[in-house]
Amino acid sequence: MRFVLGLETSCDETSAAVLDVSSASPRVASLVILSQDVHRIFGGVVPELASRAHVRTIAAVTDRALADAGIALADVDAVAATAAPGLVGALLVGLAYGKALAWARGLPFLGVHHLEGHLFAPTLEAPDCAPPFVALLASGGHTLLLDVPRWGEYRVLGETLDDAAGEAFDKVATLLGLDYPGGPRIERLAAEGRPGAQRLPRPMLGELEGHGPHRYAFSFSGLKTAVLRAVRASRDLDGDRPDIARAFQDAVVDVLAAKTLHARSALGYPAVLVGGGVACNQALLGALRDRAGDGVRIFAASPRLNTDNAAMIAAAGAWRLARGERSGWDHEPGDRRPLPGLAHAASAPLA
């Protein structure tokens, strides 16, 4: 096997990539990502519009990826497409298109879990990225802390009880009068804010002191409410906006970094992996690197590979295909589906 075609349509990016897997270190031969700007009008993703946009563009995006890689469809050896989780209508487009391409050419096909794609994304730029590590997956739809002793074996340490971190960024951006998507806009505005000028709570950070079931859990709904109160209390929102953004980002970063590094220390692992759109936040990566100490690796892909993209789907798919795994032609999309190989930490609690 040399070339794996990856497809990603879980939300509002239509993406295709070609991965060269002929060597021990897979190489991204091409990556095309087409973002759907129409959702900015509504301040969030509209599922029906996302699905229709995928239908219109999936073929052209795939053709562009093949052309950029300098190959034809006849040169592809396998196809991998995101199957879950995500918007069902959006997933259906990429999954059906990928199955059709594979079936027409008699190629192996694999439906990939989107979050496993995020886990494999850093390996495309850091070949030495390998378990064991603690993984923080933070995006608009997920905030998940995982124990990853080896590829394909995942143990949930904690997850969000309400809003995901990326979702909180988007909602707070709306409260501050900023455009969608909120993450990069909050980060830019926070850079202008004064440290400590506003103080917001660190939700569930105190849980680290005990051994309860929510020790590594997250909750950002209350933090969002605290921002709302700060906005309403402001007498000069234009002047206070950068300070509120800074306070919000500092609170999220403190909670994510503290819980991630506490879990790494408890497990004694040499590395932390950060994936998902929130991993593009440089304040978060900086905090993790500053607090981790010498000898601890922080693996995070570049922003292009941290946001939803088909290269990470091809990487995860290639690993499973190499193990002999295949998906049937009746493989269906799912808006919620656990990672393959996932277990809960309750079966083996941390010290």
Query: Domain residues of the chain, as ranges?
Result: 3-120+306-341, 128-300
pLDDT mean across residues, the chain: 95
- Check residues 57 and 351 and name the one with the higher pLDDT: 57
Query: What band does 222 get if pLDDT is binned at 50, 70 and 90?
Result: very high
DSSP class per residue in 302-337:
-HHHHSS-HHHHHHHHHHHHHTT----TT----SS-
Query: What band does 350 get if pLDDT is binned at 50, 70 and 90?
Result: low
The answer to whether residues 276 and 183 touch, using CB atoms and an 8 Å cutoff, is no
pLDDT tens figures, 262-316: 999 999 999 999 999 999 999 999 999 999 988 999 999 999 999 999 999 999 9
The predicted structure's pLDDT at residue 348:
44
Q: Can you give the pTM of this predicted structure? A: 0.95
What is the rounded CA–CA span in Å between residue 61 and residue 58? 5
pLDDT over 70 (residue 260): yes
Backbone φ/ψ region at 70: left (φ over 0), alpha (ψ -120 to 50), beta? left
What is the rounded CA–CA span in Å between residue 21 and residue 75? 13
Q: Which amino acid is at 213?
A: P
DSSP class per residue in 59-111:
HHHHHHHHHHHT--GGG--EEEEEEESS-HHHHHHHHHHHHHHHHHHT--EEE
Name 118's Cβ contacts closer than 8 Å, sequence gap at least 6.
137, 139, 275, 276, 306, 312
The predicted structure's pLDDT at residue 141:
87
The answer to whether residues 186 and 178 touch, using CB atoms and an 8 Å cutoff, is yes
pLDDT tens figures, 21-52: 999 899 999 999 998 887 887 888 898 999 99
What is the rounded CA–CA span in Å between residue 119 and residue 340? 13
**CATH 3.30.420.40 for domain 3-120+306-341:** yes
CATH superfamily membership of 128-300: ATPase, nucleotide binding domain (3.30.420.40)
The predicted structure's pLDDT at residue 347:
41
Helix residue ranges per DSSP H, 196-281: 221-233, 237-267
What is the rounded CA–CA span in Å between residue 196 and residue 56? 48
Q: Which amino acid is at 303?
A: P
137 HSE (CA, 13 A, CB side): 25
Mean pLDDT, rounded, for 256-264? 98
pLDDT tens figures, 122-166: 999 999 999 999 999 999 889 999 999 999 999 999 999 999 999
Same fold? 3-120+306-341, 128-300 = yes
Q: Is the peptide bond before 242 cis (omega within 30 degrees of 0)?
A: no
Lowest mean pLDDT among 94-98, 250-254, 345-349: 345-349
The answer to whether residues 5 and 101 touch, using CB atoms and an 8 Å cutoff, is yes
